[in-house]
Chain A
C-alpha cells in the first residue's frame, strides 16, 4: 500500500532549523534549559508552540522535549489542588476534584480547542504560551492560582495574577519551566461559572468571563471574577468583586454589574472585534456568568 516517495527531490520544511533534545528527567530538562537560556524552549504537546514555529513567529534554536516526563498528575495537596504541567486537557473532564471544587474550571475547559487538541495539549503549554484569551490562564487567575516554576538552581511560586504580563509574555525567566499549577480549595459552599464568546467553537475566544463565589444564607459572601478580552491578559474585576458581596443570590443585579464592569475597561481592538463590540459582549457575558453561578448556588 505504500506508494513511491512523494516529491523526494524537494524536501519541504516549515519551521526554522533547531536542535532537538529529549529530556530523560526533570533535572536533565532543567540542565538543558539552563544551558540554552533564551535560545531554548520546552516542548510537550506542541499544540501552541508548533503553529508559531510553522509560521516562523517562534524560532527557538533548541527544543527540549519534556513530553514523556512524569509531570501529569492531578492531586490534592494540603489545602489545594496541584495539577502537573504535563496534564493533558482531556484529563480535566473526568477528574472528581475539579468537578467538585472548581466548577468554573470545568466549564472553561469545555471551550478548549477540539478533541485531538485536548488529547495532546498540556496545561503547562497553554499557560506558558499565554494567549490573551486562552481558558487556562483565565481560570488560574480566577482561582488565585500559583504557578510553580523550576529552574536548575531554584523553585519559585508566582501568583497567576502576576504571571501574565502581556500577549504571549509571562514572568518565566530564561532557563525556567512551569512544573505545576496549584489552586487553593474554595470554601465548601462555593460555586462558579464560565462563559465564552468565540467566532467558532474551539477557536480562541473573543472574550470570556468566569465567576467563582462563596455563599451563605442566600447571599454572596465572596465574589471573584476574571475577564479575558478586556486586556492583553486575563484581568480580575476588583471593583465589581467588592460590589457583589452581600447581594442576594436570587437577585444579584447581574446586568447592572456587567454594564458597570464594561464601562471600566478599555478592551483590545483587532481584526475579530472592535473595542465597542468587545465591551458590549463582556457586559453580556458578565451578566450570564453571574446569573449562571447564582442559579447553581440556589440549587
Chain B
C-alpha cells in the first residue's frame, strides 16, 4: 500500500498528511480531520451531501481523491457559522424550516453559499426557478424543498436589506 504525502489547508489550518491515493476527500476530511459535518449520502455524486469548497468553489468531495487536492484549500460547513450556526444562511434555514433530519443540510449550505453571495453582489432577487436550479444537485428527503427555497430567498433578502 503506497502512501502519498499531501499538504491541505482545511478551514484555515495547514496540515501535511500521508494518504493512500484511493482515499476520497470526503473520507479523509471525516477521518483525518474529524470534520463530521461532511456527510456522505450516496458516494457517487448524485445527492450533493458531501459538497465542500475546494479553492473557494463547490466540489463533491465523494468524487474527489484527496491526492488530487495537494496544495489546495478546503472549506467545510464547520467553518461557516461555527457550532451555533450563526451564518445568515444557516439562520434562515432554521427559521424557514429548511431542514428536518439535517443530513443533507451541510451540502445544501455549501452548494448554495456562492449562489447567495452572487445574487447579493448583483443585487438580484432570484425567482424560485433560479433558486431551484442552484440547488438541483442536492437531494433532501424530508422537507419537500419549499422550506429550503424560502430560506435561500430570506437569506438573500436579508443581506440586500442590510446593504440598502
Q: Write the residues of chain A forming the contact surface with B, with a CB cutoff of 8 angstroms.
A: 1-8, 11-20, 22, 43, 46-47, 50-51, 53-55, 63, 65, 67, 113-117, 119-120, 201-202
Contacts and interface: CB of A to CB of B under 8 A. Distances in A.
B68 interface: yes
A7 B30 CA distance: 9
Given A114-B48, A114-B137, A115-B58, A6 B36 contact: yes
B58 A5 contact: no
B24 interface: yes
Contacts of B136: 114-115, 201-202
B68 A46 contact: yes
Contacts of A6: 30-31, 34-36
B41 to A, nearest CB: 13
Given A8-B31, A117-B45, 13 more contacts: A1-B79, A3-B34, A4-B34, A7-B30, A11-B27, A13-B27, A15-B22, A43-B68, A46-B63, A50-B63, A54-B44, A115-B58, A115-B133
Given A2-B11, A16-B22, A51 B1 contact: no
Interface residues of B, number: 45
7 contacts: A16-B22, A17-B21, A47-B45, A53-B22, A54-B62, A117-B137, A120-B63
A5 to B, nearest CB: 5
Given A1-B11, A19-B21, A43-B68, A119 B44 contact: no
B83 A202 contact: no
A17 B1 contact: yes
B64 A50 contact: yes
B48 A17 contact: no
Interface string B1-17: 11010000001010000
Interface of B: 1-2, 4, 11, 13, 20-24, 27, 30-36, 43-45, 48, 51, 57-60, 62-65, 67-68, 70, 78-79, 82-83, 111, 115, 133-134, 136-138
A171 to B, nearest CB: 26
A54 B44 CA distance: 7
A87 B27 CA distance: 28
B111 A115 contact: yes
A35 B21 CA distance: 19
Given A1-B78, A2-B13, A46 B21 contact: no
A65 B71 CA distance: 14
Contacts of A114: 48, 136-138
A50 B63 CA distance: 5
B48 A116 contact: yes
B106 to A, nearest CB: 13
Contacts of A16: 22
Contacts of A1: 11, 78-79, 82-83
A227 to B, nearest CB: 25
Contacts of B30: 6-7
A54 B21 contact: no
Contacts of A7: 30-31
A120 B64 CA distance: 10
Contacts of B27: 11-14
Contacts of A14: 22, 24, 27, 43
Contacts of A202: 136-137
A283 to B, nearest CB: 28
A202 to B, nearest CB: 6
A20 B21 contact: yes
Contact of A50 (B45, B111, B115): B45
Contacts of B134: 115
B141 to A, nearest CB: 14
Contacts of A17: 1, 20-22
Contact of A5 (B1, B22, B34): B34
User: Could you say which of B20, B31, B35 has the most chain A C-beta atoms within 10 Å of its C-beta?
Assistant: B31
A12 B115 CA distance: 32
Contacts of B115: 115
Contacts of A113: 137
A20 B65 contact: yes
Given A14-B43, A50-B45, A3 B36 contact: yes
